[in-house]
Amino acid sequence: MTALTVRLPNSVHQKIRELAERDEISVNQFIAAAVSEKMASVMTLDYLKQEAAKGSRSDFDRYLNLVPNVPAAAGDELPNH
């Protein structure tokens, strides 16, 4: 495990302490979980961007054109606004 010094505004540190206490975990656990969540979010966006770059508009249009042009099934209609 690695130790890391992070400078936080006092107000942020206090709020982290309150939230960690509410969750009955340590401040370190709270920060590690928050960083892990952010890391997962960034990595997911990177993955989705990479996958999207592999797509092509022509493939999309080809598959969309396979969808029959029929009225929506009962219960699948768009709401009237």
Alpha helices in 1-81 (DSSP H): 10-22, 27-54, 57-64
Q: Which residues of the chain have pLDDT under 70?
A: none
Question: Distance between terminal CA atoms of the chain?
Answer: 55
State residue 3's pLDDT score.
92
pLDDT at 80: 86
| The dihedral sign for the CA sequence 63, 66, 71, 76 | negative
Structure confidence at residue 55 (pLDDT): 94
**How many CA atoms, within 13 angstroms, populate the side-chain half-sphere of residue 30?**
16
